[in-house]
Structure 1
Amino acid sequence: MTVTDMTVTEVTTEQTVMLPEIADPSRVAPKDARTLSRLFFDRLAVLEEGTPEYQYARNTLIEMNLTLVRFAAARFRSRGKDEMEDVVQVGTIGLIKAIDRFELTREVEFTSFAIPYIVGEIKRFFRDTTWAVHVPRRLQEARVALAKATEELRGRLGRTPTVKELAQLMVLTEDEVNEARLASNGYNSSSLDATISSGTDGEAALADFIGTDDQALELVEDFNALAPLIAELDDRERRIIHMRFIDELTQAQIGEHLGVSQMHVSRLLNRTLTKLRAGMLTTD
């Protein structure tokens, strides 16, 4: 006889040693699941882990209490359908953890014990996967606290609170509040190819409105190409280049250091620059 052919009372009184075989544990009504769970937990406590009987009891407990997962997941029903499937799977992990740690001696209902595990696992899932940019956990938590403090002070003051006011309420330094604000920027991200309205000009890519060309980046390639060419110069040529472009000395001052005329320095400098320019063009 299966549990579907008996009442819960009959199961708990007649099956004192052997656990009842439940045809489809997932279809057991929540009220019956509560009573049956106590029976299965009682047997699970004395069964040897790894035995078929132990696995049957544990798996049945999981299936019977999946309604708890669906109940907890309903709080996050605003998520998309695909994501809700992930939520239920993650919530099931929380349920399994609760089953493995529950003891009847706690004298609390399993439902009350399991829900925090399930919800905690789901929240951890969102915390670890929904941030576009990874930030430390303390800053993720600070972001939530900052949002709550901001709303509380806005309602109390009738205006947007200052950093100092937020810091006082949150018992943080102003630098820590600013750090939490900055971390909030990592929660969402947008593609640079995303189209946005540009007024009368229609739509344009987000990349057109942020950032500018860094002219200095071109110098990086030039420096990389120039370095080996300078290394090939003789000592006097390198010294002249250094004094002219690093020390920013005039040709007359360079001449004084080298003991030559300004005209001679000019000829040496032009010859050296011509050599470097030719080398750069060859490299390109």
Structure 2
Amino acid sequence: MAPSAHHPRPSFAERDAETSELFDQLASSTTEQESEHVVEQIVLLYLDLCTTMAGRYDGRGVEHDDLVQVARLALVKAVRRYEPGHAPSFAAYAVPTISGELKRWFRDRGWVVRPPRRLQELRADLQTVRARLEQELGATPTDADLARAVGATVDEVREATCAATGFRPLSLDCSTADDDRPGMSAFLAADDERLQAADDRVCLTEALTALDDDERELLLMRYVEGMTQREIGQARGVSQMHVSRSLRRITVRLHDHLADRAAEAVADAELEPDRMSTAS
């Protein structure tokens, strides 16, 4: 929502007075159209507040316009929820509402590589404290200074500082310290079918250990020695149908075993961030 024309910015007292009048109009509105018109007028009065508050998060890997949009949506929410008399002024109610929405949005969507929530919150606290300490000390605060100020350990401060790179991680295509050398992507291993085949063999070998000797011998005769089901039946003194059913049963067991391992690997990967957070 943007103003259609530029208007001189009113003083705080003038804006508070106008806001009060508009909320009185909103309370007496009899139609949805009338209410929406008043809501828009209130929002227009506070668009500069949205821009200012969004600016606090500039330079963290998120476009300024995106943050302004989040702030404006929060402003609309504040207008619709505000109850005159429950706060000193509408501005006093809107500021924490907009700030909370920005923090939540930034926490949930601003990270490219998302660290545990405790590090996200500590990083935000450190940014505020660092600016204050620089003014008080007249110098860049040390990790120990920051740790004392936020009630954390030095290691936690350093961990949170490193986590801040999750907002804007370096591209693998960026140059290295030596500009004559290729980007980091040049040092990544290329896809290699032989590596995948080796991984598959390891998994299959593990699955085969779940079979008994007779089942492994049956697989050896069929898939390694290349014998037909009829030939296997003759060698083992059983019918071809019996061989076929045995092979089918063994194949299903192998498939289920490999599927279970894959599911476990996915579950472990999803739980790993929580384990790291708990361990910390």
Distance 1:67 1:147 in 2: 23
| Structure 2 unaligned residues grouped into runs of 5+ | 227-280
Contact 1:197 1:204 in 2 (8 A): no
- The answer for the alignment partner of 1:14 in structure 2 is none
| Amino acid across the alignment from 1:61 | I
Pair 1:28–1:121, CA change in 2 (3 A): farther
| Amino acid across the alignment from 1:221 | D
- The answer for the alignment partner of 1:110 in structure 2 is 90
- The answer for the alignment partner of 2:182 in structure 1 is 204
1:220 aligns with 2:199: yes
Task: Please show how residues 1-284 of structure 1 align to structure 2 within 5 Å.
Answer: 27=7, 29-31=9-11, 33-48=15-30, 51-75=32-56, 83-106=63-86, 108-145=88-125, 161=143, 170-172=150-152, 180=160, 183-184=163-164, 186-198=166-178, 202-209=180-187, 219-224=198-203, 235=214
Distance 1:196 1:43 in 2: 61
Larger Rg: 1
Q: 1:92 offset after TM fit, Å?
A: 0.9
Q: 1:198 offset after TM fit, Å?
A: 3.3
- The answer for the alignment partner of 1:4 in structure 2 is none
Q: Secondary structure of 2:85's partner?
A: helix
Distance 2:74 2:54 in 1: 11
Q: Secondary structure of 1:45's partner?
A: helix
| Amino acid across the alignment from 1:206 | M
Pair 1:24–1:138, CA change in 2 (3 A): same
| Structure 1 unaligned residues grouped into runs of 5+ | 1-22, 239-271, 280-284
| Amino acid across the alignment from 1:37 | T
Contact 2:115 2:163 in 1 (8 A): yes
Residues 98-121 of structure 1: per-residue CA shift (max 9 Å, x gap): 212333324633334323333433
TM-score, normalised with respect to structure 2 = 0.54
| Amino acid across the alignment from 1:65 | Y
Distance 2:51 2:19 in 1: 17
Residues 128-168 of structure 1: per-residue CA shift (max 9 Å, x gap): 33211223432210233456678969x69999547xx9766
| Amino acid across the alignment from 1:144 | A
Distance 2:53 2:154 in 1: 36
Distance 2:123 2:99 in 1: 19
Pair 1:147–1:196, CA change in 2 (3 A): same
Pair 1:110–1:52, CA change in 2 (3 A): same
Contact 2:82 2:93 in 1 (8 A): yes
Provide the alpha-carbon RMSD of the alignment. 4.9
Q: 1:41 offset after TM fit, Å?
A: 0.7
TM-score, normalised with respect to structure 1 = 0.53
| Amino acid across the alignment from 2:34 | E
Residues 69-122 of structure 1: per-residue CA shift (max 9 Å, x gap): 234345456589x92222221111121122123333246333343233334333
Contact 1:229 1:276 in 2 (8 A): no
Q: 1:227 offset after TM fit, Å?
A: 7.3
Distance 2:80 2:60 in 1: 29
